[in-house]
Amino acid sequence: MNSPLPLDVPLVVAYDVAVLAAGEVGRVDAAVVAAGRTIAQQIDDVMETGTPLEKTKALYLMPHLLNVLRELLATPKARDDAGRLPGSGALQTKPDVDDEGEPTKRGSVGRGSSNGGTGLGRLSSIPRPAAG
């Protein structure tokens, strides 16, 4: 597997690269970005100087770091689930299909879609409360 970074790069550096490449991360995301960076730095610090037991405990922070990266759409699955192209922040054009794989009448989400690329095609599938 080809890695975009050397394998010995500190985790916090890899985290920063991933966040920058994720796109559409703004000031409103500052707390999430800072929380993830703190976790990555803590893991790096312990992995460099900790005892074997401390290192094992630090690795238990990894799922929390991955959750932050998912929130920032900085993992392949999170981008795919959100319909985003890697590193671009742009919506992909994905046809909406039913359970049998047949195209639905709704437009696809993304550039060039029948809804003008607004990304609103999927909103029509969100259940709405009954009018009271």
- In terms of C-beta density within 10 A (0-12 exposed, 13-18 middle, 19 or more buried), how is residue 92 classed? middle
pLDDT at residue 53 is higher than 50: yes
Span of 17-26, 28-37, 50-59, 111-120 with lowest mean pLDDT:
111-120
For residues 15 and 67, membership in a common domain is answered with yes
Q: How confident is the model at residue 131 (pLDDT cuts 50, 70, 90)?
A: low
Domain count for the chain, please give it: 2
Residue 22, number of CB atoms within 10 A of its CB: 23
pLDDT at residue 55 is higher than 80: yes
For residues 26 and 57, membership in a common domain is answered with yes
**Nearest CA among 3, 13, 72, 75 for reference residue 40:** 13
Is the pLDDT higher at 82 or at 125? 82
Dihedral sign, Cα of residue 101, residue 102, residue 105, residue 110: positive
pLDDT at residue 115 is higher than 50: no
CA distance 88 to 79: 10
For residues 32 and 61, membership in a common domain is answered with yes
For residues 81 and 96, membership in a common domain is answered with no
For residues 15 and 76, membership in a common domain is answered with yes
CA distance 121 to 116: 9
For residues 76 and 24, membership in a common domain is answered with yes
- pTM: predicted TM-score of the whole model, two decimal places: 0.61
For residues 13 and 76, membership in a common domain is answered with yes
For residues 43 and 6, membership in a common domain is answered with yes
Q: By 3-state DSSP, what share of the chain in percent is helix, strand and coil, each rounded to 5? A: 50, 5, 45
**Full residue range of the structural domain in which residue 101 is found:** 91-132
